[in-house]
Structure 1
Amino acid sequence: MDSSIESTSAAKNADEESRRRRMGDIVLNTPEPPALWHEISVSIKEEVFPRSSEPFSLLTWILSAAQGLFPVLQWGRSYSFKYFRSDFMAGLTLASLGIPQSIGYANLAKLDPQYGLYTSVVPPLIYSVMGTSRDIAIGPVAVVSLLLSSMVQKVVDPTADPIAYRKLVFTATLFTGIFQASFGMFRLGFLVDFLSHAAIVGFMAGAAIVIGLQQLKGLLGINHFTNKTNIVSVIKAVWVALHQPWHYGNFLIGCVFLIFILCARFMARRNKKLFWLSAIAPLLSVILSTLLVFVMRADKHGVKIIQHVTGGLNPSSVKQLQLQGPYVGECAKIGLVCAVIALTEAIAVGRSFASINGYKLDGNKEMIAMGFMNVAGSLSSCYVATGSFSRTAVNFSAGCKTTVSNIVMAVTVFIALQLLTRLLYYTPVTILASIILSALPGLIDVKEVCNIWEIDKMDFLTCIGAFLGVLFGSVEIGLSAAVIISFAKIIIRSIRPHIEMLGRIQGTDIFCSIRQYPTAAQTQGVLLIRIDSSFLCFMNANFIRERITRWVMEECDPNDKKPGEKIHSVVIDMSTVMNVDTSGTAAVGEMHKELLFLGIQLAIANPGWQAIHKMKRAGLVERIGGEWVFLTAGEAVRACLAAKDAACGC
């Protein structure tokens, strides 16, 4: 009877051993993973030549490429008069907000007012036939205007040489468009993701405060002001200016109409049907303040006015582009920074409203559209244009259906350039400052900053780094700080990955972190460890080896352990390790030697495809033993316990 039981038990053990070996063979006998060059070529092929169920032909390819480049060829076929009526009203509403904002943002960019209006004509027309967002409104924006002026004025002083300054702005705009189009064509949109959400929140808040402080020049009617953008220089300039003669009329007009615009916006938020009041408030402010100055002749008593605004069709700026000379490199650098910031803002705005309306935004097509519109803009006296959140919100609230609303807005602005520029002669400069100031509260999202603090402290550090960098340094310093902190966070987490000790949930074959699940029990005599890193490489290999070795030494300490509890096996769960390099394989090899010296068996569970392939190539699997590589952590633990029982003769 006993012999029968023993033979049955031996048969079961043999079957279990055979099954474990089959599972191990599955891990070891996988085909070779694809080479790096093959993965890259397949990725490029899929992006450039997307799969299609239709048979390939030259005509089909041309039509597909044309529809991809010009989405209007797709949605334009189903366009109706009902849609046009909605887009027409939305476009007119958009223009009523866009005209005064464009003039104000041109002033922020240290350009004459007409260049802001030019930027609201050509880029929106190009985007309307190439863009994929139905809601986004194209034109100059505050942050990009500040960014452009703060970087270009370090090369050429706009006050001393406005013509050279303007040429560099157009050249930087050309490079911005080239970079944006290249990002889309070569599927390099991931470059925009280098600026995280937290970085953008902090950058926008810092830029909003700097922009607001700079508008004190217009609001107070200050003649001499600093070109620096940091808060210390701006406050110092304001302090000096306040101790010099200044006219209270500028401040009074600016404050009155700033309060009017903010009240109109408050009423529109309380009652969604009054959205149009918020949209036309800036235009009404321009009209009323201009009439006030003209009737009272306030310009004769110290109130500063815009004076001459050049009207007419966008003039060509091809001959003004500086593609040779000492400043080409600077313009390219400025263009790259502006390209990333403009795309980040536009895609964030576009995705927000696309999710509301339930359609998909194609990021690569958006980049191409933004690039082409800025290239065209640089040739027609425009500076960098992108999607504006405030104007997009107005466009959405006004009921736009397609990008035709951008066409209506551009035509309206063009008509204004033809007929109304002379009426802007008496427009006070302070009203432009008021319009810009009224748009700034939307850039400071205190609630989101608090949310970032609650979710991720490292992200909050990125946010604060960008904010303080812009505020006390410059726009470039703020962006650099955000990128450096973001990369530092990634590097730190790569160098010091989490290494978890695993235990079994009672009554199951599930192994999980003992720290996360205190009810999980460690298997007696077996130390099961999981490496929470996708890449075991030169940055973290020694740290992981030392940490695991230290844990083993602590577990093997004879002063802390009872006689039957000594560790006899270490199982490394590599289910999250997708790849290793030579440093990683060397570290595992050294760990195996150290454990072998202590009389402890090393086992590996579920390594990634590339990881096991390189471990075989390095001869590491042969040194450890192919029978000690398993498909699951549970299989590895059972094999270690069975080996221990066999060694003890149990």
Structure 2
Amino acid sequence: MGNADHSYDPSFNDNYYGSANHRVEIPPPQPFVKSIKNTLKETFFPDDPLRQFKNQPPRKKLVLGFQYIFPILEWGPRYTLEFLKADLIAGITIASLAIPQGISYAKLANLPPILGLYSSFVPPLVYAVMGSSRDLAVGTVAVGSLLTGSMLSEVVSPTDDPKLYLHLAFTATFFAGLFEASLGIFRLGFIVDFLSHATIVGFMGGAATVVCLQQLKGILGLDHFTHATDIISVMRSVFTQTHSWRWESAVLGCVFLFYLLLSRYFSKMKPKLFWVSAMAPLTSVVLGSLLVYFTHAEKHGVQVIGDLKKGINPASLMDLNFDSRYLTGTIKTGIVTGIIALAEGIAVGRSFAMFKNYHIDGNKEMIAFGMMNIAGSCTSCYLTAGPFSRSAVNFNAGCKTAVSNLVMAFAVMITLLFLTPLFYYTPLVVLSSIIVAAMLGLIDYEAAIHLWHVDKFDFLVCMSAYIGVVFANIEIGLGLAIGLSIMRVLLFVARPKTLVLGNLPDSKVYRSVDQYQNATNVPGVLILEIDSPIYFANSNYLRERISRWINDEEDKLKSSGETVLQYVVLDMSAVGNIDTSGISMLDEVKKTADRRGLKLALVNPGAEVMKKLNKSNFLEKIGQEWIFLTVGEAVGACNYMLHSCNIESQKHSNNIV
């Protein structure tokens, strides 16, 4: 196509754009072992947790090591009486919420209600010692309870064999803790990052909807109910038992649900009165129990909790069941519930840490979550995490440190030792109302609307998770959303953006001609920006896309009668890495350009890219003088060559004349 002499004099670049030491340089070679070490360090230790141990004497390293594993040793010596006053108030406040929520969520997991109280005693003690968040309040969570109940019910029926079901719940909790702790120890927390914000919004909304539907059993006073979680099965179970509906239970449930929602609305309107909403669940339990006791409503269709065993957590280490018949189901339950618990707990902890301007270590949180669930599985607890509702109350109550969890655990211990008989007359319908009120706050329709306005694909992921959970089951909904998110990541890698750049008027700045309408093309020069690392997954696509850009540009210039295309400039500023397939792609692009009489130039390849291009001898093929630091320098060199060719052409014409 072009017949210009492309032998470029690099001294022009030195004189016009700066000295030679401003060109793109090849980084010095590194030993293979050191290169691998740096890569692994950046992948698994981006926060460099060992930096505090550098240049420290052995005794100091030992102290720092214990403080790293047990953060309470780091902030404990600085604890003050003022902190204790604040933590006492916060701990008592969250205990008033933890007690009714714990009993309610245990029923949601098809477990004895007393396990909800057990799970609010031991795990908070462990987290207070090992956790790095000042605001996270530990306890059972609704979504985790629902997951435990629905997934374990597929392994064994909680009604047919409640003892085996209980032991499998402890075992699933053990595997959840083991999985969480392993993620933290081996620095694999990035796995949780595959749960995108859109996935969590949709999944939480779907799970909350399913939980609300499940509570129709308690609100309507039904004795038999489906173990399935999808909306069709639940509605079928509800409307095929219309003859069993209890109007007394329904009225009581609606009254307490209205009271709970009203107290939440009142607390939102006046944030200083947050304690009204925090105390509402316990108040509902007390009022409901008194109402049943004085009216004998338990004899008229209102179901009650019944006897709760007094005493603190019994050991359950010997109850862990590793029978091969159930092992697959318990491991799967543990991993799924562990991931969800981590995603919610770490997200909640980071949110409140941001408000108070401090940092929490995600990997340390995973270890803390893992250890508290392992300890819990050995002390008659099931899955615990950091629920948003309880943590929000803890934050609003003015907690200063994790001591608020210790206060809550102490309050639960007092309840277990002395107060459990008082819950005998607590109506199940009140517990259902508490769960429904808590779940309605997890259906974040405003976030879904925001996703629709900002990113339609994220909205699709969100709705896929929601619809999958509500109309199929929790595992399908979660798997569908994660699958779509991973597919999007793969699409970003396999189909990276390639942009045509143009010059902004009166500047040396080059930007996308699609984004900046006043950007103009440089005559005879096609400038392309590659917006991704070049790997085997996208190398073929990029080769074809660059060829199409060249064809389109040549056709456009031919139809307009302008200067023919002579130079192709690839801006590689965003190309952080390249593999052998990518190098082969560049080699093929150069050969294509040579066949068409075009000259290929590269702009600002990264250090890793330059290193590999040099080792593959590609730099010799293209010529190091055709690798530039900026697009402006590359265009300047192309214009210089075009100008030189025009002068030579004019001289040649004059000689002929």
Shorter-chain TM-score tier: over 0.9
Contact 1:305 1:426 in 2 (8 A): yes
CA shift at 1:564, angstroms? 4.7
Contact 2:26 2:607 in 1 (8 A): no
Q: Which residue of 2 aligns with 1:60?
A: 60
- Correspondence list, 1:151-550, <5 A: 151-242=151-242, 244-533=243-532, 535-550=533-548
Contact 1:177 1:375 in 2 (8 A): yes
TM-score by length of 1: 0.94
Contact 2:557 2:564 in 1 (8 A): no
Give the distance between the partners of 2:235 and 2:159, measured in 1 at CA. Answer: 20
Q: Which amino acid aligns with 2:244?
A: P
Residues 1:31 and 2:28 aligned together: yes
Structure 1 627/409 Cα, relative in aligned 2: closer, same or farther at 3 Å? Answer: same
Q: Does the residue aligned with 1:314 lie in a helix, a strand or coil?
A: coil
Bigger shift: 219-228 or 575-584? 575-584
Q: Which amino acid aligns with 1:599?
A: G
Per-residue Cα deviation, 1:338-360 (whole angstroms, up to 9, x for no partner): 11110111111111111112222
Identity %: 46
Q: Does the residue aligned with 1:353 lie in a helix, a strand or coil?
A: helix
CA shift at 1:515, angstroms? 1.0
Structure 1 19/560 Cα, relative in aligned 2: closer, same or farther at 3 Å? Answer: closer
Give the distance between the partners of 2:527 and 2:484, measured in 1 at CA. Answer: 34
Contact 2:307 2:421 in 1 (8 A): yes
Q: Which residue of 2 aligns with 1:4?
A: none
Q: Which residue of 1 aligns with 2:591?
A: 593
User: 5+ unaligned residues in a row in structure 1: which ranges?
Assistant: 1-11
Give the distance between the partners of 1:307 and 1:530, measured in 2 at CA. Answer: 70
Per-residue Cα deviation, 1:572-599 (whole angstroms, up to 9, x for no partner): 1111111112221112111211221111
Give the distance between the partners of 1:296 and 1:440, measured in 2 at CA. Answer: 30
CA shift at 1:570, angstroms? 0.8
Contact 2:527 2:570 in 1 (8 A): yes
- Correspondence list, 1:558-573, <5 A: 560-573=558-571
CA shift at 1:269, angstroms? 2.0
Q: Which residue of 2 aligns with 1:7?
A: none
User: 5+ unaligned residues in a row in structure 2: which ranges?
Assistant: 1-8, 649-657
Bigger shift: 380-389 or 360-369? 360-369
Q: Which residue of 2 aligns with 1:3?
A: none
Contact 2:105 2:116 in 1 (8 A): yes
Give the distance between the partners of 2:304 and 2:562, measured in 1 at CA. Answer: 91
CA shift at 1:33, angstroms? 5.8
Contact 2:536 2:579 in 1 (8 A): yes
Contact 1:138 1:385 in 2 (8 A): yes
CA shift at 1:419, angstroms? 1.3
CA shift at 1:310, angstroms? 1.4
Residues 1:50 and 2:47 aligned together: no
Contact 1:537 1:580 in 2 (8 A): yes
Give the distance between the partners of 1:152 and 1:193, measured in 2 at CA. Answer: 26
Contact 2:53 2:64 in 1 (8 A): no
Per-residue Cα deviation, 1:476-532 (whole angstroms, up to 9, x for no partner): 111111111111111112222111111112222111111111111111111111111
Contact 1:24 1:627 in 2 (8 A): no
Q: Does the residue aligned with 2:138 lie in a helix, a strand or coil?
A: strand
The partner residue of 1:617 within 606, 615, 618 is: 615
Give the distance between the partners of 1:387 and 1:378, measured in 2 at CA. Answer: 17
Contact 2:13 2:633 in 1 (8 A): no
The partner residue of 1:553 within 532, 538, 551 is: 551
Bigger shift: 31-40 or 446-455? 31-40
Give the distance between the partners of 1:87 and 1:49, measured in 2 at CA. Answer: 29
Contact 2:180 2:367 in 1 (8 A): yes
Q: Which residue of 1 aligns with 2:573?
A: 575
Q: Which amino acid aligns with 1:522?
A: N
CA shift at 1:401, angstroms? 1.6
Give the distance between the partners of 2:318 and 2:423, measured in 1 at CA. Answer: 28
Give the distance between the partners of 2:495 and 2:427, measured in 1 at CA. Answer: 58
Q: Does the residue aligned with 1:387 lie in a helix, a strand or coil?
A: coil
Q: Which residue of 2 aligns with 1:8?
A: none
Give the distance between the partners of 1:272 and 1:616, measured in 2 at CA. Answer: 62
